[in-house]
Amino acid sequence: MRRLLRGISRVLPDAAYVHLLYLKTHGRILNLRRPRTFDEKLQWYKLYYRDPLMATLSDKYEVRRYLETTGHGGLLNELHGVYDSPDEIDLSVLPEQFVLKATHGSGMNIICRDRRSLDWEKSRGLMKRWLKTNFFYTGRQWAYKNIKPRLICEKYLENEEFHELIDYKFYCYHGRPQVLFVCTGRFQEAGLRYNAYDMRWNRIHACKGKPGSELDIEKPDTFDAMIAVARDLCRDFPFIRVDLYSIRGKITFGELTFYPDNGVIPFTPDKYNYYFGDFFLLPEKMRT
């Protein structure tokens, strides 16, 4: 099925492709007429919800300008450079640690913790492949369709007490942060893990794909301030995820996304597919 989807991804109509992708990943038929779960509603969102600002906020370079114009420039991580090609990057002028990202998709990151051990030729080849990729076709995530492919280099961040970067991902619905996923395991072989909390830091025993982290993470001192930032950034959308970091008492912006995990990694237990979906009210006039 994966090979089939990859082969026909550019020729299938968007709705047909999304139906097949959902069947492959969830093992059941997608209901777009009466979507109930979070992932069902996210498929509808990909296909039918259109706001030009979504493309700006999904672009990892243009979103920086948006934050600056809306008074949130102080949240931005340090930018080392923006490039149209990896051939423009002068590795010798970069710090020993840095992060390279493609601006037009998700999961396109090179996290360099030691410049001397980085396989630069391999990294250059990877980035060239990124720039030839239209991320829209991986799941019909509309906001990515017309983003200009570029690369950015940002300052490497880490929560030193955990020897990794803790990512606070706020699920926001209709202008209100409702649920938080604390993401860990970025540098671990086992991969990313998520612990869920409500806005009072009560644990919600929901997982995404894998069991939650075993790290003992206490509520950060900046938690209320992060909620306020997320509330300000999530206005005017039925759903948006706001990603933030908190390092030594300073909040740093991560990214904004409208389609977490492309809607293909279900919550477990299954009841949380409905729990997260109940917050997500789709515009009635735009229903199919």
pLDDT for res 6 = 62
Domain-located, residue 151: yes
For residue 93, being part of any structural domain is answered with: yes
Distances (CA, A) of 58 to 39, 101, 260: 19, 13, 12
| Contact between 177 and 197 (Cβ < 8 Å) | no
Which residue, chain included where needed, has tokens 């060239």? Answer: 128
42 touches 260 (CB < 8 A)? yes
Whether residue 130 is contained in a domain is answered as yes
Share of the chain above pLDDT 90, in %: 80
Q: Is residue 143 part of a domain?
A: yes
User: How many domains does one find in the chain?
Assistant: 1
Is 61 part of a structural domain of the chain?
no
Q: Is the model's pLDDT at 79 over the cut of 70?
A: yes
CA nearest neighbour of 207 among 280, 269, 260, 264 = 269
Which residue range(s) make up the domain with 93?
A: 78-156
Specify the pLDDT at position 213.
61
By CB neighbour count within 10 A (0-12 exposed, 13-18 middle, 19+ buried), where does 111 fall?
A: middle
pLDDT (average), residues 185-205: 83
If pLDDT is split at 50, 70 and 90, which confidence band does 190 have?
A: low
Mean pLDDT of the chain: 92
Rounded to two decimals, what is the model's pTM? Answer: 0.93
Give yes or no for residue 8 having a pLDDT over 60: yes
Predicted pLDDT at 184: 87
Q: Is the pLDDT of residue 16 over 50?
A: yes
Lowest mean pLDDT among 17-31, 73-87, 131-145, 196-210: 196-210
Banded pLDDT at 110 (limits 50, 70, 90): very high
Confidence of residue 286 (pLDDT cuts 50, 70, 90): low
pLDDT band at 1 (very low <50, low <70, confident <90, very high): low
Predicted local distance difference test score (pLDDT) of residue 285: 46
Asked if the structure places residue 212 within a domain, the reply is: no
CA 253/CA 77 separation, integer angstroms: 7
- Give per-residue pLDDT as tens, 223-264: 999 999 999 999 889 999 999 999 999 999 999 999 999 999
Is residue 136 domain-resident? Answer: yes
Torsion of CA 42, 101, 242, 165, to 10 degrees: 120
The answer as to whether 124 is a domain residue is: yes
